[in-house]
Structures are given as structure tokens and as C-alpha cells.
Amino acid sequence: MSTPAPQIDTNRPIIRPLDEAAINRIAAGEVVERPASAVKELMENAIDAGARRIDVAYADGGKTMIRITDDGCGMTTDDLPLALARHATSKIDGSDLLNIHSFGFRGEALASLGSVGRLTITSRASGHDAGEISVSGGAVGTVRPAALNSGTVVTLRDLFYATPARLKFMRTDRAEAQAITDVVKRLAMAEPSVAFTLRDVSGGGEGRQVFRADAESGDLFDALHRRLARILGQDFADNSMRINAERDGFTMTGYAGLPTYSRGAAVAQYLFVNGRPVRDKMLIGALRAAYMDVLSRDRHPVAALFIDCDPTLVDVNVHPAKSEVRFRDPGTVRGLIVSGLRHALAEAGHRASSTVAGATLGAFQPQPTSARVYQMDRPSAQARTAAYNAQAPGFADMQGSYSARTEPAPQEAPPEDAPPIGEMPLGAARAQVHENYIIAQTPDGIVIVDQHAAHERLVYERLKTQMADHGIAAQALLIPEIVDLSDADCATLLAAAPDLAPLGLTIEPFGGNAVAVRETPAILGNVNARALVLDIVDELTDEGDSQSIRSRIDAILSRMSCHGSIRSGRRMQADEMNALLREMEATPMSGQCNHGRPTYVALKLSDIERLFGRT
């Protein structure tokens, strides 16, 4: 005869309501994960209140003190107790949860913060007296008179003192402070017209200013560009593309970095939906797909993109922290991001990051001189032309062993309205060194071109154009591959079958939860159809779209272009080098090879002269 396990209680469990303090602490576990979460909630309240200046101060990574000061509309003494009540808010009236125009709307943040810390709110509305209210561990005090000119000051001390177990999950002060800085910067990107200040007051006193962004004015793009330069650095501002695209009620604006200006990790990707910073895997996947053709897998783009739409087309009430969203038509949003970014990349043409030139100059090591070198003034243009003409015969008579020698060849006369070849963006070819690098002269400097990488990109773009014009040939399988799937995976794959057919993959239902693969892309050769289908299903489930076939086809084309391009070690004639430069100028995305590496480096003459002390 078996005996019941001692851990099992044979008494019937009793259902009982939780008290208000427990409810608030449970809510706080969802809303306030760490000090940065508290800063986010309080800053969003300040922005919703119409603040034009927000000052943030923290101590010990926000664990002991967080203070948010704003100049918003403020609250009256009658509003203060209501602000600390759960689900009390001025943002919505509760009749429509799909038409939300503010950051906050759930009415949980202040009540949650007051239940796990010591919260004090001092506020004054225009035409009313200032008041102050405190709450500690869920115990709300009375409203007291206070001294304040306008706006609101929210001070949160001893975060999680009422739930000490949560403190064990906090990271170091430095890590928590970095998370706070990231939150402030994201909201500063979303609101260029608002001034932000962040201070570390650990140890008391005025502390140390960590971040400051003054309010920007002017055109939307200009204000955003200046704000991004302040936050992400001037290098990003100089090496980014303006994004402005629209599709089916959705608009995308912002700035995205050139492929040659990329990062080794996805740490500089900022996405916003209706001004709200979000971390959405579908949006991140679309951003990655847009750069798939110009970046290797170990590099990540830099971007700050703003998706705007009617609030009814997106649900922001998915998670208490409001960091996730759900679109009514995710395919449209994904298509907007991919097509908008690819169009901008194509318009960028042969443009490459200026940081490449900076790194090149930094690699030069001029020999130090013991004595001061006095240089003559820079000669006039006429004098330089005469000197070049005088030196030309000597250059032409150089020995054949020098790889820099060029053999002039007759060229067709350019169109009458075409600028001189030396004034073209990539200049005129002057030499070839080590049978791999072309040296071209521009009006204000020189350009060094990697001939193999540049031609590889040109051939790749040509192959893609031919593929788009003539379609992707499909090869019929002698025996169709039968793949068994789950109900959901089968339905997902068959729904995407019409989109996969133009890529050369033909899939048909085979009864039950099985599908039959009839045709595969011919360019892929002998492919494991079952593995390909399973990869596609995983992508469709995870991101709502699949790039497996396209990425494999592009990889084949990239490999073909690599083998069909000018090889390193081949000596080129002058007309060949100039033809390569002109084709680069006319080909989209020719500033980087198929793996995201730069195809050329542009150096200013002034920078080169500085290397030789000619300043």
C-alpha cells in the first residue's frame, strides 16, 4: 500500500485576494527591473507632462538615489495622492487602449516605485501652491506644503529596500550607471527639442556631469542630426545616410550608417515606434536583412530609425515595460525598413566612411626629425603644372620592374558637358602599386583603390541585375523531397509558398502535415532540400519573413564575382584603371566590397602634407 508523499498537502487550497502592498510589489517586478527602469518611467512621465528641460541625478548606480527634475505642467495638491494610486493616470480615459499618443498610460509606475522604495514627489501646477507627498514601502503619507517654482521633482531613495531579495540581482554600480545613461540617451534621441542633463552625485555635492544635450531647434532632420551627433558622435553624423521612406500608412525617418561605418556588436541600433524606444526582434531582423548584402555576418550596422504610424496600427500594450510592440501588419513594416534602407544605400553610390581615411592616416608613422624643417610656401597651380610636365618624361622612363609604371593608351574623347577626368569624384588614375592598388589624383587629394575588392563589387552588382532581369532558374527534382512538419509550421510554410516560388523554390502540400519540394534554385546546385525548408520555417516563425534562399543565392553570386573579378597581381593599363573608377562612380554600393570592407580610401592633400610637416 502506497503512502502519500510528505510534500503534498491533502488540504484543499483556499483562494484569497492579495493585499494592496503585495499587488504593487508584483507589479513592480514587471515594471521596475533595475534602476534604469525607474529612470525610464519617470522621464517618460516628465515628457508626457510637456517638459522642455529634464535633469536626472543618481547616486551609486541609482541604487541609493534617483532624482528627476522637470519643468512640465506639474500637479496640484489634490492630484498628488491620485498619482500614487494604481491604475490612476491622466494619459487615457480607458475607453480606447489602441489610440495611445503618450509614453505612459498604464498608471502603474509611481505606485510600483513607492511599494519597493522611498518615493517623494514635489510638484506645482501653474496657479496653484506647491505640494509634497511621500510613500515608503507602500505606506502613503499626507500631502504637505512645499517650496517649488514650477514643474515636478521626483526623488526615489533606497530602491528595492522593501524587497531585499531583488538587490541580490543588481549588477555593479558602474553597470547600472551605464544602463541609466543608455536610457537617457535613447529618450534624448526621441525628443530632440527637449534638453537633458544627467549627473552622478555619488558621494554628495553637485557631482559629475555624465551627459548633456541642449534643446535643438529647426527642421526635424537637422535637429535630429545634431542630436545624434551629440549622442553617437560626429563620426556617425558624418558617415550616415538620411532615411525618409513611406509605405501604406507607415513612415520611416532617421539616419543609418554607411556599411563601412559598422560595429562588431549590435550595440548602436536604436529603433523607435511613434517616438517610443523599443527593442523588437522583428525590427532588428529587418535592419539586419537590409544590410545583409553589404556587411559580413560578424559586423553590425549603426542606425537610429523612427517608425511612425496611426496608433491604431500598433499595439503598445504588450508588456508592462512597454519596450515591445505588435504591429497589425508586420510584413508592411519589415518591407518598409528593408526597402527604405536599401534604397538609401543605393543612393549613397560609391560613398565610403571617412573614418577609413582617418585610420589610414593614423597608420602612417612619419620619421621624427631632430631639426626644424622650414618649408617654402605652397607653389601656385601654374607652377605645379609646369613641374609635373617637366617630371613626366622621367616617370615614363622608369624601369619596368616598378609596378607603379602606367602605359598610356589612346582614349575616346569624353562628352563635351562632362567635367575633366581629374575633377571626377574618384579622380584620374596616376599609378598602380604592387599590382593591386590604384592611385588616383583628385582636385583636393588622392584616392587609393583596392582593384580586386572594387571590381568584385562591380561584378556582383552586375550579376544581381542580370538575375533580377531574367529571374532565378529552378531545377526540378527527379524525386520530390517530402518533409513532415507540425501543424503550425506546415501552415506557415504553405502561406509563404507564393513568395518562395519566384526564388526558384516550389513547395506543394502533400497531405496531412507534409509538404513536397518540387523545385529548388538551380544556382544552388545539389542542395539539401529538407534542411533548406526547415531553415526557412525557423525564420518564418521567428521573424515573420525568410531570407535563407536569397542569402544563399547572394552568397553564390558573391563567390562568382570574386572569381570573375580582376585578380591581385594583374598589371592594369591607364585606360583600364580609369574605366574602373568611372564604373565605381556609377554603381550603387561600390564603396564597400561584398563583405563590407572599403574598396577605396580618400586622403585629403592637407592631411598628407601634415604628415610631412608642411603645415
Instruction: Label residue 511 left, alpha or beta by phi (over 0 means left) and psi (-120 to 50 means alpha).
Output: left
220-348 has the same fold as 20-213: no
Q: Which residues lie below 8 Å from residue 382, measured CB to CB, with a gap of 6+?
A: none
Fill in the DSSP letter of residue 615: -
Q: What pLDDT digit, counting tens, does each position of 521-532 carry?
A: 887 778 788 888
Q: Which one is the CATH code of 20-213: 3.40.50.10950, 1.10.287.70, 3.40.640.10, 3.30.565.10?
A: 3.30.565.10
Coil/strand/helix, residue 210? strand
What amino acid is encoded at 489 in this protein? D
Assess contact for 451 and 572: CB atoms under 8 A. Answer: yes
What amino acid is encoded at 394 in this protein? G
Exposed (0-12), middle (13-18) or buried (19+): which is 400, by Cβ within 10 Å? exposed
Higher pLDDT, 468 or 139: 139
What's the pLDDT score for residue 520? 86
Percent of the chain surpassing pLDDT 70: 77
- Backbone φ, ψ for residue 246 (5° rounding): -145, 145
Assess contact for 312 and 220: CB atoms under 8 A. Answer: no
Displacement of CA 568 from its chain's centroid (Å): 34
Q: What pLDDT digit, counting tens, does each position of 265-310 carry?
A: 888 899 999 988 988 888 988 898 888 878 877 788 999 999 999 8
What's the pLDDT score for residue 376? 45
Q: What pLDDT digit, counting tens, does each position of 140-154 carry?
A: 889 999 999 999 999
Spatial distance between the Cα atoms of 49 and 45, rounded to a whole number of angstroms = 6
pLDDT at residue 473 greater than cutoff 50? yes
H, E, C per residue of 320-380: CCCCCCEECCHHHHHHHHHHHHHHHHHHHCCCCCHHHHHHHHHHCCCCCCCCCCCCCCCCC
pLDDT at residue 320 greater than cutoff 50? yes
Assess contact for 54 and 72: CB atoms under 8 A. Answer: no
pLDDT at residue 361 greater than cutoff 50? yes
Q: What pLDDT digit, counting tens, does each position of 203-216 carry?
A: 888 889 999 999 99
What's the pLDDT score for residue 530? 87
Q: What pLDDT digit, counting tens, does each position of 549-596 carry?
A: 677 677 666 766 676 666 677 888 888 888 888 888 888 888 888 777
pLDDT at residue 503 greater than cutoff 60? yes
Per the prediction, the chain carries an average pLDDT of 80
What's the pLDDT score for residue 210? 94
Pairing type for strands 195-200 and 53-59 reads parallel
Fold of 349-365+402-409+421-615: Ribosomal Protein S8; Chain: A, domain 1 (3.30.1370)
pLDDT at residue 385 greater than cutoff 60? no
> What's the whole-model pTM score?
0.73
The single residue listed with the C-alpha cell 543618481 is 58
Q: Residue 195 has which C-alpha cell?
A: 534638453
Q: Which residues lie below 8 Å from residue 415, measured CB to CB, with a gap of 6+?
A: none
Spatial distance between the Cα atoms of 507 and 498, rounded to a whole number of angstroms = 9
Average pLDDT, stretch 43-71? 93
What amino acid is encoded at 428 in this protein? A
What's the pLDDT score for residue 548? 67
Spatial distance between the Cα atoms of 39 and 184, rounded to a whole number of angstroms = 8
Q: Quickly state the pLDDT bin for 223 (edges 50, 70, 90).
A: very high
All structural domains of the chain with their residue ranges: 20-213, 220-348, 349-365+402-409+421-615
Distances (CA, A) of 435 to 158, 271, 406, 559: 67, 44, 11, 22
- Backbone φ, ψ for residue 230 (5° rounding): -70, -35
Spatial distance between the Cα atoms of 60 and 352, rounded to a whole number of angstroms = 42
Fold of 220-348: Ribosomal Protein S5; domain 2 (3.30.230)
Q: Residue 446 has which C-alpha cell?
A: 588622392
Q: Quickly state the pLDDT bin for 105 (edges 50, 70, 90).
A: low
What's the pLDDT score for residue 282? 87
What amino acid is encoded at 9 in this protein? D
What's the pLDDT score for residue 391? 44
User: How many Cβ atoms are within 10 Å of 524's Cβ, its own excluded?
Assistant: 19
Spatial distance between the Cα atoms of 324 and 282, rounded to a whole number of angstroms = 10
pLDDT at residue 21 greater than cutoff 80? no
Higher pLDDT, 109 or 233: 233
What's the pLDDT score for residue 411? 46
